[in-house]
Structure 1
Amino acid sequence: MALDRRWPLALARGAVPVALGLLLWVAIAGGEQERQQTLKAQPGGDTASLTQRRRHNELIMAALREAAETDENVAQRRVPWRK
């Protein structure tokens, strides 16, 4: 059985997009360390801001949990409400 002349052309046509995608991935992934350093240098990346943000998220989740557990409309409560 002789090798069909279309096979090498089909393999090349299939390999070119894969090779292009691999080259683009390598080019983009090369700057990952620089991106991590940039993210660390942004304002709000320090420990105090992160703990404050976590506390804020905990309060929001507690309010959502309470709203899910009750039948009353918590959005209609008076503004200075406390648990």
Structure 2
Amino acid sequence: MSGLRTVLVSTGFVGVVGIGYGMWSVITPGEERKREMLKNLPEANPLRMEETRKRNALMMQVLKEAAETDDNIARGLGPMRSQK
């Protein structure tokens, strides 16, 4: 009986894995759909990509300035608090 149970469990496991792989194959997009999706990414638009580069450069500048100062701007103890 133990051998029969092992065979049935193994067969069931292989069946479940096969069904999972089959469903995954159906869900994943084909090559043509992948190319279409890549064309629609924001990075494909040169104008949008340049805007992203500028925004990233500004954020890096802000982070660099924040790292170089000893003021704790997050707690409101820095120069921003005294200007109000």
Cα distance in structure 2, aligned partners of 1:9 and 1:57: 57
* Structure having the larger proportion of residues in helix: 2
Percent identity between matched residues is 30
1:38 maps to: 37
CA RMSD in angstroms, aligned pairs only: 2.9
1:81 maps to: none
TM (normalized to structure 2)? 0.65
> Residues 23-45 of structure 1, C-alpha deviation per residue, up to 9 Å, x if partnerless?
12211223464144134236774
The correspondence for 2:80, drawn from 60, 73, 76, is 76
Map 1:4-83 to 2 at 5 A: 4-31=3-30, 33-41=32-40, 45-72=44-71, 73=73, 76=80
**Structure 2, unaligned runs of 5 or more:** none
Runs of 4 or more above 3 Å deviation: 30-33, 41-45
**Structure 1, unaligned runs of 5 or more:** 79-83
Cα distance in structure 2, aligned partners of 1:34 and 1:75: 52
Alignment coverage as a number of residue pairs: 76
